[in-house]
Amino acid sequence: MLTLILSEQNLSTSYKIDSDLSKDILKNINTIVLQDSNTTMIVNSFGSKSEAVFSKIIDVIAELKLESIKQVQEYFDDALAGKSFDIVILEQLKELLSTSDFDFEVIDSLEAAAGSVDIKDETTFVSGTSTQSDSKEYSFNERSFVSSSSPTASDSSASDDSSDSSTSADSPSSSFSSFSFGGIGGGTDLPTSPIPVVDENTNDNTPIVTVDVSGLEAGNVIDLIDTISGSDVIIGTYTVTGTETTPNAVVIPVSTDLSEGPHTLVTEVTNESGNAGDPSGEVSVYIDNTAPSETPVGTTDTNTADTTPTISVALPVDTDGNPTLEAGDVIEITDSEGNVIGNHVITQAEIDADPLLPIDVTVGVIDGVVDPSITLPTDGTTTVNVGFTDEAGNAGPTQAIDITTDNTAPSETPVITTDTNTNDTTPTISVALPVDTDGNPTLEAGDVIEITDSSGEVIGNHVLTQAEVNNSPATVDVTVGEIDGVVVDSVITLDPDAETTVNVGFIDEAGNAGPTQTIDITIDVTGETAPVPVVDENTNDITPEVTVDVSGLEA
């Protein structure tokens, strides 16, 4: 048999549920208690439809002759799930529940809390059994409640005046179970569970999870739940204090290591009365503890004047030529202490490119933003490491590259040892290599002797070899029209029959230019007109006198 228990003015009264039960007792009631021999159900409804909801519940129990809480709970669950019923009264109940503020809780065992009372929000419901056929009042913590097995309403005048905090001495032995809700006539709005915030990909098995508690009350308890494999596992708990300095980003400590792989997290908030709100929306997190296995192959100018050099990195591929990295993975440049001094986040377009192109990563550019504070030393050699890091933060092996930055230009001015008058439009200029006071060469292999015209255009050069440097002091020939060892004299020539000014200078391997020597080269490809000799036509002189007119010739 099902019993209805109502609480008014600190008294709890039980009623037999049948078709004759007056609905007047349901006026201004927000909470009812249903009980069978083993189970208790607490039902809440608030708002203008509360009386109608409770009346319909009583009608369903009476008309369908329900005898257990389990049967009632099944109908509630089906109604809340929107199931269609063939029975009209159940359809009516479903409609009421769908449009009202309604919730319920089932306590499976009455014996579990026997003898205990928990007073919260000034209301505690106490149910139990008694050998007396009439009502008997008991006093707990200076609050009065009625327990009765009588099918009729108990009269509060039957109460004992005892104010002791335990059962009165002359009362028979009884067992009690207590449960609490927000209070008759008060609100029991369930807390809203905040959606957790967490990185989607991480290598942290106890990731940082934050929630916004600004809409919760002090004392609310937030459970962080992992729904992995369909099982709800509480992996962290936080109790709201109401004094949080950053309520929109409160960290819920994760107390359980999450396994590698996908996880779905929700939160569920329980208020101080023990009422749990609905779970929050789901968020996904992938725990990734596997680092990339590939070592980068990066190329760059290892001698440069650029303190923010660019390294070109080839993307690795498998045996079928498919890229092994993914969009979101990162190419990182770190210094010898492990500090990130440059990176590039790989895009899907770069992964899909055909052919797969190298990716440039520049020192001082992090996440696409230039950081002017990050540079290599102006002069010196720096070891940098290039590696791949996946989206979760796992770092693979690195490639070490030594980069020499040089911003000191050669100080020597070239000494020219060549004829500045010639009929060759691609003349060769001989340049003496400079030495210090001890006779040692001051230039290095890889330095360049460069010839430029008056506009600064390179019209010839020569890259010094180690053999030439070792042969110091030496003279090296540089030819106009020959650049990087390739003759391009069909393109580059000096003007014939004219004087051309050229500049000769030394450039180090990093590109720093020293002072230049300016020379004027005269190109003369037009010969002089020879004068007609004058001599006697007939003479017996075997060495006749011959004269010419040199007045039109140059010295």
More confident residue, 261 or 170: 261
Average pLDDT of span 265-280 = 90
pLDDT digits (tens, 9 = 90+) for 349-381: 999 998 889 999 999 999 999 999 999 999 999
Cα 314 to the chain's mean position, in Å? 24
Asked if residue 325 and residue 220 are part of one domain, the reply reads no
Write the CATH number for 316: 2.60.40.3580
Q: Considering the domain boundaries, does residue 179 fall inside one? A: no
Which residues lie closer than 8 Å to 471 by C-beta, 6 or more apart? none
pLDDT digits (tens, 9 = 90+) for 427-463: 899 999 999 998 899 999 999 999 999 899 999 999 9
Asked if residue 7 and residue 130 are part of one domain, the reply reads yes
Asked if residue 393 and residue 309 are part of one domain, the reply reads yes
Boundary (domain end) residue, out of 361, 379, 406: 406
pLDDT digits (tens, 9 = 90+) for 1-15: 677 777 654 556 777
Asked if residue 432 and residue 389 are part of one domain, the reply reads no
Asked if residue 136 and residue 12 are part of one domain, the reply reads yes
Angle between helices 88-98 and 69-80 (to 10 degrees): 60
Identity at 1, one-letter amino acid code: M
Boundary (domain end) residue, out of 287, 315, 338: 287
Write the CATH number for 487: 2.60.40.10
Furthest C-alpha separation in the chain? 181
Asked if residue 71 and residue 37 are part of one domain, the reply reads yes
Asked if residue 135 and residue 18 are part of one domain, the reply reads yes
CA dihedral 330, 331, 335, 340 (to 10 degrees): -30
Q: Considering the domain boundaries, does residue 441 fall inside one? A: yes
User: Hey, is 443 helix, strand or coil?
Assistant: coil
pLDDT band at 409 (very low <50, low <70, confident <90, very high): very high
| Structural domain count, the chain | 4
The mean pLDDT value of the chain amounts to 81
Asked if residue 105 and residue 84 are part of one domain, the reply reads yes
pLDDT band at 214 (very low <50, low <70, confident <90, very high): very high
Average pLDDT of span 95-120 = 61
More confident residue, 374 or 424: 374
Are 102 and 45 a contacting pair, CB within 8 Å? yes
Q: Considering the domain boundaries, does residue 308 fall inside one? A: yes
Quote the DSSP letter at residue 75: H
Q: Considering the domain boundaries, does residue 160 fall inside one? A: no
Q: Considering the domain boundaries, does residue 426 fall inside one? A: yes
Q: What does the H/E/C string look like for 261-308?
A: EEEEEEEEEECCCCCECCCCCCEEEEECCCCCCCCCEEECCCEECCCC
More confident residue, 12 or 48: 48
Q: Give residue 153's pLDDT.
A: 34
Boundary (domain end) residue, out of 360, 384, 406: 406
Nearest-angstrom CA–CA distance, 346 and 340? 16
pLDDT digits (tens, 9 = 90+) for 110-148: 443 333 333 333 333 333 333 333 333 332 332 233 333
Q: Considering the domain boundaries, does residue 536 fall inside one? A: no
Asked if residue 128 and residue 21 are part of one domain, the reply reads yes
pTM for this one? 0.54
Q: Give residue 68's pLDDT.
A: 86
Q: Considering the domain boundaries, does residue 122 fall inside one? A: yes
Average pLDDT of span 468-485 = 88
Asked if residue 397 and residue 342 are part of one domain, the reply reads yes
Nearest-angstrom CA–CA distance, 488 and 535? 50
Q: Give residue 131's pLDDT.
A: 31
pLDDT band at 232 (very low <50, low <70, confident <90, very high): confident
Question: Which of 82-86, 331-335, 492-496, 501-505 comes out lowest in average pLDDT?
Answer: 492-496
Q: Give residue 161's pLDDT.
A: 41
Q: Considering the domain boundaries, does residue 544 fall inside one? A: no
Average pLDDT of span 520-549 = 81
Asked if residue 12 and residue 132 are part of one domain, the reply reads yes
Asked if residue 264 and residue 214 are part of one domain, the reply reads yes
Q: Give residue 29's pLDDT.
A: 80
Q: Give residue 499's pLDDT.
A: 85
Report phi then psi at 171, rounded to 5: -85, 150
Range of the domain at 67: 3-142
